Structure 1
């Protein structure tokens, strides 16, 4: 009975042993090819690093766009590395496996594309931003209600440091879709300042004093493009705006120059005896349900007599 049981398992065991022996012979036969494939991958990896460095040096001399340099550097590195992997698989005679892998990668990539639409969108946006280059590291920008200096850009996010000291990571899709205000492109910025003077002042004299004051200020550029404009009749003053240009983002800062302009205009008005009026409020006691001021005064006087 026991011998019958052993005979029942002998055939499967023999098949397993034959398979293992066959795999061993195949491994020994493929060992030289495997070593060649490993060496090929190593060589292509070194070649990928070398070519990426060469591309980086070439682009650094031809363009100052750091994002574009990083993009081409990575593309060259992974492209060369992928070629090396395919060559290694060919040496191992795994051509059919390569075809199956490519088909599988296509299906998996399609599924992942739906699952990670935001990541894919940010990546594609990063590529577009790298090619178009609307912003660069060091630019002062305002986007998605955040304003600050661009400190880093990659294929997923753009990093800015706000003037309040926070680091903000903005997805590249937002950068591409939202309106970007770049304060660095033209190297200058306009300061708009609203002021008011008394109704009793000579408006032409006020205009002349303000323009001369702004023209004498340090760090004001293009004084011929300074704009002075009366804007309306306010509740207690004649309102006007003074608009002048400064270098930006060079020092002094925008806020400092605006502060200097306010102090300079105030000093000039004091020297010329020009009044910046306080708000005036007229109180009417004769509305429905109330009393006139004269009647209130009579009541007060009557009580004091008593």
Structure 2
């Protein structure tokens, strides 16, 4: 019994000595790995601040710039971790981590496919100069002012003060009209005059009225005027001209102003703007008894 105890004790001592020697031999690599992790940690903090500040100069959304900065910091930390495992000669562990990360990443990507699509779409939209907070846009059947662009969705405030939340993926994949990219917009004004009207005079008065009403129209030559058709009760025409504006409300205000000015001009010159009139004629008396007899075949 004593001999067995001595043998076990000797094996234990030998094992501990082997571990101690291994630790002593690996101590320089272990210290180097710790230094690498410390350097990676502080480098990640610096890169996070630097990337956040650099992205913030081009993106007005703090959430986007902070997220990109954090992603950059995580990449630096992971690079330092993999380097440490290589220094410690833990190649198998490194291979296992990479394989596990690949499997986990694939599973997460499949589970969060829609969310990731909106996230990447949000990043892309944030870097687009043609879409900025404050722009007035029309897309996917909605029209309003851009209030927020984040990693999840796109927020519009419509003219009736209602907020519309649209997924970023939908914004990126569908056509969009941005009224704020240009400083001018064209107004289309349609109207009709009576058949008895002097058409040349109507054209002249309409163009002069628009030129006198809007500062952006230098002269009547800048106003386009076209007769379109002989309507049921009027001869219809189209008038086009340019005004300063960046939002849909500017178009409504200009149209409202143009209609008032045109109506005043036509009234002052006795030009009629007709409206459809339906005349019902009852000149024949209906013989009820005769109709009933005809239906019964009498």
State the TM-score, normalizing by the size of structure 1.
Answer: 0.71
Partner of residue 66, structure 1: 60
CA displacement at 1:252 relative to structure 2? 7.6
Distance 1:129 1:242, change over 3 A: same
CA displacement at 1:90 relative to structure 2? 4.7
Q: Distance in 2 between matches of 1:222 and 1:70?
A: 46
3-state SS of paired residue (1:111): helix
More displaced stretch, 156-165 vs 213-222: 213-222
8 Å CA contact 1:193–1:243 kept in 2: the answer is yes
Q: Deviations over 1:244-283 (max 9, x none)?
A: 2111127982211111111111111111111112322133
Distance 1:127 1:181, change over 3 A: same
Q: Where do residues 14-33 of structure 1 align in structure 2 (5 Å cutoff)?
A: none
Q: Distance in 1 between matches of 2:197 and 2:94?
A: 87
Q: Where do residues 123-142 of structure 1 align in structure 2 (5 Å cutoff)?
A: 123-142=119-138
CA displacement at 1:212 relative to structure 2? 0.3
Q: Where do residues 61-100 of structure 1 align in structure 2 (5 Å cutoff)?
A: 65-66=59-60, 74-88=67-81, 90-91=83-84, 93=88, 96-100=92-96
3-state SS of paired residue (1:253): helix
Match of 1:245 among 237, 242, 246: 242
Answer yes or no: is 1:282 the counterpart of 2:279.
yes
Answer yes or no: is 1:119 the counterpart of 2:115.
yes
Match of 1:108 among 104, 108, 115: 104
8 Å CA contact 1:37–1:89 kept in 2: the answer is no
8 Å CA contact 1:221–1:247 kept in 2: the answer is no
CA displacement at 1:220 relative to structure 2? 3.5
3-state SS of paired residue (2:187): strand
Q: Distance in 2 between matches of 1:250 and 1:145?
A: 16
More displaced stretch, 83-92 vs 162-171: 83-92
Q: Distance in 2 between matches of 1:112 and 1:236?
A: 66
CA displacement at 1:36 relative to structure 2? 5.5
Partner of residue 230, structure 1: 227
3-state SS of paired residue (2:132): coil
Q: How many residue pairs were aligned?
A: 262
Q: Distance in 2 between matches of 1:199 and 1:246?
A: 31
Partner of residue 191, structure 1: 187
Q: Distance in 2 between matches of 1:169 and 1:99?
A: 43
Structure 1 unmatched ranges of 5 or more? 1-14, 286-292, 298-306
CA displacement at 1:105 relative to structure 2? 2.1
CA displacement at 1:33 relative to structure 2? 8.3
Q: Distance in 2 between matches of 1:261 and 1:233?
A: 23
